[in-house]
Amino acid sequence: MTTFTTRITAMYTLQQPDPNYVVNAIWEVTGVDGANTASIGGNTQFNSADQEGAFIPYASLTEAVVLSWIPESAITSAQQCVQGQIDSMITPPVSPANTALPWSA
C-alpha cells in the first residue's frame, strides 16, 4: 500500500493586491510503498479574483493552509502518476528485445 505525502516546496508572490500575495505554489507529491519511492512535482497558480475568504498575511500562512488551496483533483492526478511509477518499479514493464535474424549467422 502506498503512503502519499504532499508538501509545498516554493511560493511566488506579488506585492499586489496585498503585500506578499501568493500567486503560485510549487508542490510535490511523494509516494512510498515499502522500498519503492517516487515523486512528481506540480504547481498551482492563484488569481486574486478567485480568492475565497479573508486575506491571510504571508507570515501567518502554514503549509496546511496553502495545501488547502490546491485543487483536490490536481493532488489526486499527481498521486495516480506516482502510483504508476511505483507500480513500474514493483513490476517492471517488459520491453521487446532486438533479436538477431535467424537467417543471418
Residue 50's pLDDT is 86
CA-to-CA distance for 27 and 6, rounded, in angstroms?
A: 7
Residue 93's pLDDT is 87
Residue 67's pLDDT is 97
CA-to-CA distance for 15 and 103, rounded, in angstroms?
A: 72
Q: Which residue in this structure is represented by grid cell 498521486?
A: 79
pLDDT in tens, the chain (105 residues): 999 999 999 999 999 999 999 999 999 999 999 999 999 999 999 998 888 889 999 999 999 999 999 999 999 999 999 999 999 999 998 889 999 999 986
pTM, two decimals, is: 0.85
Nearest to 61 by CA among 71, 69, 51: 69
Residue 51's pLDDT is 87
Residue 53's pLDDT is 87
Where does residue 25 rank: exposed (0-12), middle (13-18), buried (19+ CB within 10 A)?
buried
Contact 21, 69 (CB under 8 A): no
